[in-house]
Chain A
Amino acid sequence: MWRGNAWPATLLITGMVGYGLFVSLSMTTWGDYSRLFVDPVFLESIGISLYVAVSSTVLSVLVGAWLAGFFAKQTGWTTQFLAVPLFLPHLGAAYLAILYLSDFPVVGPHEGNQFSIILTYLYKEIPFVFFYLLPVYRRLDHRYEELGLMLGLSRMKRFWHGKGVFLLFPVLEAAFIVFAFTLFAYEVPALLGVTYPKLIGVYTFDLYTQGDLSRQPEAFAISVLLTGILFLLLLIFTRMIRPLTERISKGRVE
């Protein structure tokens, strides 16, 4: 049996990601980076982006995971309903926010608290998390928990050894994907966000496309810096957590 080949995809993706990063890096000097760390506009933009990304991620993962756990055994109609937002692109979801939230003072678009952006992300990401985790919940073996019950473990320990170990990595993975997306997305914040501080995706993109050429190295520097930070996070994530979950779920002696 032919076992497939991962080389074309690996070369294509790594080539584009690596080369994009390499070109960005070659366009910057050390001065650009040191200027970034003291640039109040950039730092404020990072702050507000983190607030939006963290709140969107935490809420959508909590709700999505809870729904997936609740409907893992018998889904019925809920799966059909939750599939509907998957058909609507993010741009369309942003329009819904403009349509419904414009008349409300606190959650409307262009409000400082960015609630409209977070709500739009929730509408799109909760179904994503739900469908990402549904197969994981369906594969869970309830016999582990029964074993824990028989051995007289506490509720927390039962949950951890029966479910938590198998859920930890997929849940964190879903959270990471949603986090990276909401942190850097352009379309939704560009339509619903405030003019100052702009979210980081909008700020950088506008800097690159609308600013004069002297501001371009700044955009490249932000690109390199943020890619680097996320790459580090990813490394920590895969190095620390994956071995842990793999070791436990394969049942080796700790």
Chain B
Amino acid sequence: MRRRAITVIVALLVLAPLLGLIPSTWTWNPRLFDTLTTTVSMIGVLTLLNHLIGYITGKAIAFRTGRPIRYMELLISLPLFLPVLLLSFGLYLTWIRLGLADQFIGVLLVLLLPTLPYTIRIYTNAFQALGEQMMEQMVLIEPSRFKRFLFLTGPMMRSAIQSVTLLVTVIALSQYALVILIGGGVVQMIALEAFPLYSGNSLVAAKEATIWLLVLPLLIYFVQLILLEGWVQVVRRLLDGRYDSARQ
């Protein structure tokens, strides 16, 4: 009974504020729409990089032992505990020297700071949950590294892959200060258009921006859900009892 009451309270507190986002009139702000190309490509590349680096690093932190890896773990989690925005003042000067300022790639590199530590953490936990014995078993079953990932490791890490993409998307969408500083206003992500709308007077325009900010992560999340579901289906069909020792 008490449990149910708490669930209801949580649901109300979480969902009620979102009711204000239901659009009453359909507006279409072309300036917001124009930033979508940069926003989506930035998030796409950033997510891919996060998965790639997160996977190999998370594996190392989960399965390697010794002092060096513990120090690396601490160094990797530094951006979670330090003011990334303040550190980017110095980085910006460096980026100017390297020719990375006001460039897509410069913003991409800086956006790794607030996202990558979370990604690595999620992958580390996923590998720890799988466990070393399980990984060793998989090597015995399937010697090919590519096939092992396709059939076993990948599908087993579904929830980790989903959480990483969601976190990276939401964090990257929200970065206004970092993107305007490093991107110099040239790299147009959606936050740059949305932010002035919030401090303006038009609640309708601000609402539309917020809907974009909420719909983008949801869209990306569901596209990925369908892709992962398809992956698992394909794996099931391909395996189809191939490793079943009972079927001679």
Residues on A facing B (Cβ under 8 Å): 1-10, 12-14, 16-17, 19-25, 27, 67, 70-71, 76-78, 81-82, 84-92, 94-96, 98-100, 123, 127, 135, 176-177, 180, 183-187, 190-191, 201, 204-205, 208-209, 219-220, 222-223, 226-227, 230-231, 233-234, 238
Contacts and interface: CB of A to CB of B under 8 A. Distances in A.
Interface string B32-76: 000000000000000000000111111111111000010011111
DSSP majority for the A interface? Answer: helix
Contacts of B7: 76-78, 81
A230 to B, nearest CB: 6
A26 B74 CA distance: 25
Question: Which of the four size classes fits the interface of chain B?
Answer: 35 or more
Nearest to A102: B203
A84 B60 contact: no
Which of the listed residues B54, B174, B209 has the most CB atoms from chain A within 10 Å of its own CB?
B174
A14 B198 contact: no
Contact of B177 (A7, A205, A230): A205
A227 B87 contact: yes
Given A87-B217, A95-B198, A223-B87, A3 B63 contact: yes
A20 B60 CA distance: 26
A86 B166 contact: yes
B145 interface: yes
Contacts of A230: 81-83
A21 B217 contact: no
B173 interface: yes
B240 interface: no
A127 B112 CA distance: 23
B195 A187 contact: yes
Given A91-B213, A184-B85, A220-B90, A81 B174 contact: no
Contacts of A81: 7, 10-11, 14-15
Interface in B104-144: 109-110, 112-113, 116-117, 120, 125, 127, 135-136, 139
Contacts of A127: 14
Contacts of B186: none
B83 A223 contact: yes
B91 interface: yes
Nearest to A237: B81
B3 to A, nearest CB: 8
B191 A6 contact: no
B18 interface: yes
Interface of B: 3, 6-7, 10-11, 14-15, 17-18, 20-21, 53-64, 69, 72-76, 78-91, 93-94, 109-110, 112-113, 116-117, 120, 125, 127, 135-136, 139, 145, 166-167, 170-171, 173-177, 180-181, 191, 194-195, 198-199, 203, 206-207, 209-210, 213-214, 217-218, 221
B76 A9 contact: yes
A-B pairs with lowest CB-CB distance, top 4: A4-B59, A23-B90, A4-B60, A89-B174
Which of the listed residues A2, A99, A185, A187 has the most CB atoms from chain B within 10 Å of its own CB?
A187
A13 B58 contact: no
Contact of B120 (A9, A220, A238): A9
B170 to A, nearest CB: 5
B58 A100 contact: no
A22 B69 CA distance: 24
